Amino acid sequence: MPDEANIYLRLLYRRVFAAQDPSLSQISFDLSVIDKYRDQPGYTLVRTNSAGRIKREGAWSIDVGIAEGSTLHASLRDVMNRLPEAEREHWAGHVVALPMSSAFIQMQLQPGSCFDDGELRAWE
């Protein structure tokens, strides 16, 4: 990630943490998420070099960042507030994430459950 993006990402998450408000947290999507809307009547897709908008005429729109490679990103707030519920499943199917521990995510989804995840040891 370029240094300039790092600066803004740090500022963004400082604000998220200070306000204890995760709504500005960014979520990334594979670029193919917008294929559903291309060449469809009633939809407009526009962009610059770094941002874009997907709009369903008279219904909804969402602004997205355009990252290097083939990913888009948006704030969690906009995904939850601007996308209709019927569209969220489509977008969820295109989420792209940094490498994460699937066991830890499962632990977050099922608090209090027992997981055999290896021996407890000091962090080296």
Report pLDDT digits (tens) over 94-114.
Answer: 999 877 777 777 778 887 777
Is there a domain that residue 42 lies in?
no
pLDDT, tens digit, 9 for 90 and up, residues 73-92? 999 999 999 999 999 999 99
- 2 pLDDT exceeds 60? no
Question: Which residues, 6 or more positions from 111, have their beta carbon under 8 angstroms from its beta carbon?
Answer: none
- Which is it for strands 26-30 and 43-47: parallel, antiparallel or unpaired? unpaired
Is there a domain that residue 13 lies in?
yes
First to last CA, the chain: 27
Q: Indicate the number of domains in the chain.
A: 1
Residue 8, helix vs strand vs coil: helix
Is there a domain that residue 43 lies in?
no
Residue 21, domain extent? 3-35+63-109
State the number of CA atoms in the 13 A half-sphere of 89 facing the CB. 2
Is there a domain that residue 117 lies in?
no
Supply the pLDDT for residue 20: 92
Is there a domain that residue 118 lies in?
no
- The whole-model pTM stands at 0.81
pLDDT, tens digit, 9 for 90 and up, residues 4-53? 668 888 888 898 999 999 998 999 999 999 999 999 999 999 999 999 99
Which band of pLDDT confidence, cut at 50, 70 and 90, is reported for residue 1? very low
- Amino acid code (one letter) for 39: D
Is there a domain that residue 57 lies in?
no
Is there a domain that residue 23 lies in?
yes
Average pLDDT, the chain: 89
Strand extents, DSSP E, 1-124: 26-30, 43-47, 51-56, 60-66, 71-75, 95-96
Is there a domain that residue 50 lies in?
no
Q: How many residues does the chain have?
A: 124
